Structure 1
C-alpha cells in the first residue's frame, strides 16, 4: 500500500512517527517531505520551491491512500493544497482513499467532504483500509 502523509511543516517529528507506524505495517511512503529544511529562504528560490511543490503533488498522485494528520498546533497551508489534490484525484479516478486522523484543530470545510474518512489514529486507518480491500476482494 502506498501512502502520502500531510501535516504541518513545523511538526515533522510527529509526521515521522506516523511514517514509522505505516512502514512497520508494510506501507510505502510516496514522498518524505520531512527530510527537507523548513521553508524560510526556500520561498526566495523559485527553483527549489517549485521542485518541492512538484514533489509533494507527485507524492499525492502516486498514493493509494492520502492521510492528513490534523492535530497540528499551528495552522498549515501546504497540507490543505495536498488535501485538495487528493480530493480532486479521488473524485476523478476513485483514488486515493482520503483520511483525516486526529482532532481537527484548524478545521477546513474540505475536512467535511463526503470522500473524507475521519479516524482517531493511524492504526484505525490501517484497519479500515484492510477491511475495505478485503470487502472489495470478497465482492469480486
Structure 2
C-alpha cells in the first residue's frame, strides 16, 4: 500500500499518517505507538487488510495471543470498519465496539465485537472480545 492511499481503517487520512505510521514504527523498532485503544484497534484492522501478521501478533496481549496466525483465505476482501463506541474504564483499560465487514466467495460477512484492551509499560494491547 502506498503511504498516500486512504487508510483502510476508515478515517479520512492517508495511510502513511494514520495506521501506516504505527505499522512502520513497530517494524522499525518493535514498539506499539498507538495512543489509545481505538487507535490500536484501527491499526489492527488495517493490519488484517494488509496481512501484517507480525504486527497483529505483537499487538495481541501475551495472555491471549495465539502462537501463530494463518494467512487470510484466498479471495478475502475487507470492505470497511465502523467503530460504534470507544471508552476508557481507567488509565490502563479500554473497550472498543466495532463492526468489520468482509466478503469471501461472494458472501458478505460481519464481525461485530466489543474488544478489550490493556496498557502495559505504556503500550496498548488487544486482550480479547465478545462477539455480538
Q: Given the two structures, how large is their TM-score scaled by the length of structure 2?
A: 0.29
- Which one has the bigger helix percentage? 1
Q: Given the two structures, how large is their TM-score scaled by the length of structure 1?
A: 0.28
**Quick one: higher RCO (CA 8 Å, sep 6+), 1 or 2?**
1
Higher-Rg structure is: 1
